[in-house]
Amino acid sequence: VQLQASGGGLVQAGGSLRLSCAASGLIFSGYSMGWFRQAPGKEREFVAAISQSGGRQRYAHSVKGRFTISRDNAKNTVYLRMNSLKPEDTANYYCAAAPNYSDYVADWDYWGQGTLVTVSS
């Protein structure tokens, strides 16, 4: 299984980015997909998750209303649209796959390599 995250970069506060995560080696439509992030010196934390069909989404309180998770099962890809970015959103962002979504890192089976998002003030 491979999860390839991309789309990170440097953006000013208030700006937007869209992250993508392309999956291979698994039956994509059979997995919930999630995004997590890890800032320097901090633990990895849940950001957002989406169900297998895309019909249900869940967000961390800190990003709700600013971030949107979506997926395209035909392209085996999950996205994270990030608007109104803040300096505290700066982190490495990781995509993950699991049979059922959860807020807990330990519940996710497969992980991508991470893509760095830096938000300047």
pLDDT of residue 101: 84
- What b/e string do you get for 65-98 counting C-beta neighbours within 10 Å, with b at 16 or more? eebbbebeeeebbbbbebeebeeebbbbbbbbbb
Asked whether 97 and 3 are in contact (CB, 8 A), the reply is yes
For position 15, what pLDDT does the model report?
A: 98
Of 48, 45, 35, 29, the C-alpha closest to 95 is: 35
pLDDT < 70 regions, the chain: none
Can you say how many angstroms the Cα of residue 23 is from the centroid of all Cα atoms in its chain?
A: 13
**pLDDT computed for residue 7 by the predictor:** 97
Tokens in use for 54?
């895309």
